[in-house]
Amino acid sequence: MNITDFFTYCTGLTATLDQIHLLNSLIDSKSKYILICAGRQTGKTLCCAVAIMYFCFELKRPIKILLVAVDDQKSGEAPIYSKIKEIFKNHPEFRPEAIIEGDVLYKRGFETKSGVYVYAKNAIESKVRGTSADVVFCDEAGLLKPEVIMSAYDCLSGETAKFIVLSTPPKLSTHIFNKWLENPEKEGFEVYHWSEETTNWHSSTELAFKLNNYSSQRYKTEVQGLGLLKAERTYFLNVDDCVEETATVLEESTNVVQVGTDRSHIWISIDWGISPCPTVIGVVEKLGSRFRVLEYQEYLMELPEEFIPKLAAIIHKYDRIEEKPRVYADSKPIKFRGWLEHQRVTVDYVDMLQHKEFMYAQLQDIFKTNHIRIPDSFKNLILELKKYHPHKRTGDDWVDALAMACYQPQTPLGKHQYGRAVAIPNAIGSWSY
Ligand SMILES: Nc1ncnc2c1ncn2[C@@H]1O[C@H](COP(=O)(O)OP(=O)(O)OP(=O)(O)O)[C@@H](O)[C@H]1O
Ligand SMILES: [Mg+2]
């Protein structure tokens, strides 16, 4: 049976032209690296599940197939493997040829009498490592950590060595799937790409609803299966979900732990600005692994004599008997050292050059896990967060301050990175350091 007929035999559905092209390449030994990028619910996983059944029961060459995917929380198994099991269920005629030793093994794979092995692994590096396979499938690769994808790739051995990655384009701009998608030929991939719009099992009403209600980015990725251009990608995910309606968190939040309870800490950051950039102070409250933005101010074109007392006043507002706020400030330029100390503020100076990458990785994670709340009145911060990308040179002072405020250094700040400098007045009455 050819693969198109086999698809219909297994699923009762007629494969689309796009799917037929893909199915043929999935079983073609000449196709080595395959990238499948398509909208949601367009049959990516189904095609791969059918191809695996084809390897097992039509081609019957003794090979090992590794499936790597995030387990579905409800069923506790990978969606691609659930699809295979469903085909088994609907076609008992496959069963005698498969060696399925009890349900435990069946949950994580099976073997056929002709020597095809199928292993379904949860996308955890330690689980994936150590398997050797001729064919590797990474399903919904956008949800997999790049290390896991590469560990899966490292499992490949033998002449067949086929690597298949399928996903809806991930939102995270730095994800390896997006990198491959940008220039697939250079990376050695054949690309299969299709949109929900060209399938006949998504109605025009459904598509119109999505067009009206999804953001343009979401429509492009989730429906059309298109990768986003650099300018369209967001570095921080879920920014909109993290915005709170309450304009003033302190007064109006009733269902959350109030500032001043012993479970929370106040963390403050100061990003010094040299004209035309503003000096920005950001105040966040940390509750366990969650953050709330409490206050933000910026000072532009003001002398230190003018704005330092204002900064100190903000900081002292958050002094508590049991704990003073933690204050981080950019260690550069050093001319600002000592000013706050004169106002009885203890400051840790953070070398942004050394720490920026970690700070941003942490902040990205905080947004990814939806662990921050920003009142909607902080319009500038929200705008900068949405526009931010790593090579941006200007207009990210507020984001810098937020990254620093939420920062938890993995290694303690060293002597060179912080210290309490003392300001010394010079002969003409201004400060030098
Ligand atoms: N050729 C087809 N004809 C009709 N319906 C199809 C066809 N291919 C797929 N479908 C439908 O699409 C559904 C989704 O398939 P599948 O789970 O493989 O999509 P997916 O692209 O992996 O989706 P997701 O992005 O959610 O992982 C199937 O359950 C089936 O109902
Ligand atoms: Mg899928």
Per-residue pLDDT band at 231 (split at 50, 70, 90): low
Atom of ligand 1 nearest to the CA of 42: 21
Would you state the pLDDT for residue 426? 39
pLDDT at 203 over 70: yes
Would you state the pLDDT for residue 259? 54
Q: Are 287 and 372 in contact (CB under 8 A)?
A: no
Q: What's the CA angle centered on 117, arms 115 and 123, to 5 degrees?
A: 170
pLDDT at 239 over 50: yes
Helix, strand or coil for residue 22? helix
Higher pLDDT, 5 or 232: 5
Looking at the DSSP bridge assignments, the partners of residue 34 are 164, 190
Rounded distance from Cα 263 to ligand 1 centre (Å): 47
Higher pLDDT, 312 or 254: 312
Q: Which of 46, 139, 193, 224 to mutate to test the pocket of ligand 1 (most atoms within 8 A of CB)?
A: 46
Would you state the pLDDT for residue 35? 97
Residue 74: C-alpha distances to residues 79, 106, 118 (Å): 10, 17, 22
Rounded distance from Cα 407 to ligand 2 centre (Å): 36
Atom 9 of ligand 1: nearest residue by CA position: 43
Would you state the pLDDT for residue 258? 54
Atom of ligand 1 nearest to the CA of 40: 25
Query: What is the number of helices (H) and of strands (E) in the chain?
Result: 16, 17
* Most confident stretch, 224-228, 260-264, 266-270: 266-270
pLDDT at 104 over 60: no
Q: Which of 96-100, 265-269, 303-307, 310-314 has the lowest mean pLDDT?
A: 96-100
pLDDT tens digits, 144-185: 999 999 999 999 999 889 999 999 998 777 789 999 998 898
Atom of ligand 1 nearest to the CA of 46: 18
Rounded CA gap, 136 and 26, in Å? Answer: 11
pLDDT tens digits, 47-103: 999 999 999 999 999 999 999 999 988 888 899 999 999 999 999 999 889 887 665
Percent share of the chain, pLDDT over 90: 62
Pocket of ligand 1 (CB under 6 A): 13-16, 19, 38, 40-46, 140, 168, 201
Per-residue pLDDT band at 40 (split at 50, 70, 90): very high
Would you state the pLDDT for residue 151? 95
Would you state the pLDDT for residue 209? 95
Higher pLDDT, 118 or 99: 118
Would you state the pLDDT for residue 171? 78
Higher pLDDT, 97 or 321: 97
Q: Which of 41, 50, 144, 223 to mutate to test the pocket of ligand 1 (most atoms within 8 A of CB)?
A: 41
Would you state the pLDDT for residue 249? 41
Mean pLDDT value across the chain = 87
pLDDT at 415 over 80: no
In the chain, the domains with their CATH numbers are 3-232 (3.40.50.300), 240-432 (3.30.420.280)
Which tokens in the block code for residue 242? 């993290």
pLDDT at 132 over 90: yes
**Residue 6: count of CB within 10 angstroms of its CB:** 19
Atom of ligand 1 nearest to the CA of 7: 1
Which tokens in the block code for residue 314? 């903000």
Q: Which ligand is nearest to the CA of 22?
A: 1
pLDDT at 423 over 50: no
Atom of ligand 1 nearest to the CA of 47: 18
- Residue 93's identity, in one-letter code, is E
Would you state the pLDDT for residue 395? 79
Helix, strand or coil for residue 255? coil
Q: Are 164 and 50 in contact (CB under 8 A)?
A: no
- The strand ranges marked E within 25-108 are 33-38, 64-69, 98-99
Rounded distance from Cα 161 to ligand 2 centre (Å): 22
Contacts (Cβ under 8 Å, ≥6 apart) of 102 = none
Rounded distance from Cα 49 to ligand 1 centre (Å): 11
Atom of ligand 1 nearest to the CA of 166: 22
Q: Which of 48-57, 126-135, 258-267, 333-342 has the lowest mean pLDDT?
A: 258-267
The mean per-residue pLDDT over the stretch 99-115 comes to 78
Rounded CA gap, 374 and 377, in Å? Answer: 8
Rounded CA gap, 142 and 24, in Å? Answer: 24
Q: Please state the φ and ψ torsions of residue 282, each to the nearest 5 degrees.
A: -125, 140
Rounded distance from Cα 86 to ligand 2 centre (Å): 14
Per-residue pLDDT band at 382 (split at 50, 70, 90): very high
Would you state the pLDDT for residue 262? 57
Which tokens in the block code for residue 148? 């896991």
- Does this model's pTM top 0.85? My answer is no
- The strand ranges marked E within 346-399 are 348-350, 372-375
Q: Which residue has the tokens 């570095």?
A: 235
